[in-house]
Amino acid sequence: MNASIRPFHISIADAKLDGLKVKLSHTTFADDVPMSNGWEFGPPLSDLKRLISYWREGFDWRAQEANINRLPHFTTPISVDGFGELNIHFIHKTSSREGVSLFCFATDTRPSSLLEVTNILPLLTNPKDSDGPSFHVVAPSLPNFGFSDAATKPGFGIAWYAECLHKLMLKLGYKEYVTQGRDWGYAITRTMGFDYAQHCIASHLNYIRANAPTPKQPLLYLQYLLPRTKTENAGLARMEWFMNQGLGYNIEQTTRPATIGAALAGSPMDDEILSWVSLYWLATAGPAASAGIYYEAQNTVPHPRHDERMFQYNPHVKLGLSYFLMGLLVFPPCYGRTLGPVVLEKVHTEGGHFAAYEKPELLVADLRAMFGRGGGAKDIAGRWKPAAATT
């Protein structure tokens, strides 16, 4: 193993945990909204008070920490062009089986965390049945997230996240790799596919941003013109709801990312899952750093919203697309087919934005179908042997 790749053990200082409890004990609550009967104005005051009380008095971070430390954690320095050396944290779990594939999970994008990989990891690396592929998995904490370093100057856009993950994979000895991502992980994996096409040979996505087919794509355009199915209409309705009622966080963090950082630093009560929130508040880079991805992606060129490659056809990277109807963006599948050679396409009526955590068995089934016997990327399985890995 490369000497600069070091095992990592999470051990948050007692003083930092004590400081968190002090801040929680001084939480000032806004007045309740009298005309609200539920969550239409945001989280009810009663739920927030119950959450904060439990976080302060009952939540056991050390138990969570011990559970997280059961995973194989590592850190290593990665040199990023123009930003110097960043110490990157990652989970690297390998399969003992022959015929494996390798995944780089672009996780930790807000409001996710390294916890998202915990449910899916054993299903990928050690599946119960032997009929089908198993996987080596690399799940990094992105720069500015989790236990990775923060970029120390402005301009760290999506291309630099992609560069960092690509260099991590090469350092681990994987000259070819497959990526999996959603949300910002979608943008990062797409960028890796364009910038490092000789290395990133397939991608699986469970968050698909794509343009509608045009007459320049006649077969897809005909599909686009056909009446939509009931499932497609349900996906569009879900997406319309999100764009109208659920996008406020994105606008704030795209334009004024320090606002949410200040809120988390002063009173970290805004997220709904205490373990995930604690990881943000206890992050190596601090609670504010991770919000910067929204601003940098919007204001650093090239970035995914104005970089036309995000929506262009990439013939070099095989694609697997999983649609979860309770997700945030659920375009009709003909949109996703404009992105590249689609070798797997699945639509799930249950599961949402955090499918790896909420419905890991469905996501893993899709991945195994994509790379297993008869799958569109079956030729990729078996390129990596257990000896190639660090664990």
Model pLDDT for residues 198-208, shown as the tens digit of each residue: 999 999 998 88
Q: Across residues 50-57, what is the average pLDDT?
A: 84
| 152 occurs within a structural domain | yes
| 81 occurs within a structural domain | yes
Sign of torsion, CA 74 112 189 325? Answer: positive
Domain range enclosing 82: 65-388
With contact defined as beta carbons under 8 Å apart, do 258 and 266 qualify? no
Residue 180 has a pLDDT of 92
At 251, is the pLDDT very low, low, confident or very high (cuts 50, 70, 90)? very low
**Cα Rg for the chain, rounded, in angstroms?**
21
At 224, is the pLDDT very low, low, confident or very high (cuts 50, 70, 90)? confident
Domains in the chain, number = 1
With contact defined as beta carbons under 8 Å apart, do 153 and 83 qualify? yes
| 34 occurs within a structural domain | no
With contact defined as beta carbons under 8 Å apart, do 76 and 6 qualify? yes
At 194, is the pLDDT very low, low, confident or very high (cuts 50, 70, 90)? very high
Sign of torsion, CA 301 303 309 312? Answer: negative
Alpha carbon distance 132, 64 (integer Å): 32
User: Is the per-residue pLDDT at 252 higher than 50?
Assistant: no
| 274 occurs within a structural domain | yes
Most confident range, picked from 14-23, 263-272, 290-299: 14-23
- Residue the block writes with tokens 């002063």: 266
| 91 occurs within a structural domain | yes
CATH number for position 123: 3.40.50.1820
Residue 385 has a pLDDT of 54
Whole-number average pLDDT of the chain: 81
Each residue's pLDDT tens digit, 86-117: 999 999 999 877 667 777 775 545 556 778 88
Find residue 344's DSSP bridge partners. Answer: 320
Alpha carbon distance 181, 322 (integer Å): 11
| 8 occurs within a structural domain | no
- Lowest average pLDDT, out of 59-68, 208-217, 351-360, goes to 351-360
User: Is the per-residue pLDDT at 167 higher than 90?
Assistant: yes
| 350 occurs within a structural domain | yes
**How far, in Å, are 8, 58, 62, 63, 354 from residue 68 at the CA level?**
11, 19, 10, 9, 18
| 271 occurs within a structural domain | yes
- Lowest average pLDDT, out of 2-16, 67-81, 215-229, goes to 215-229
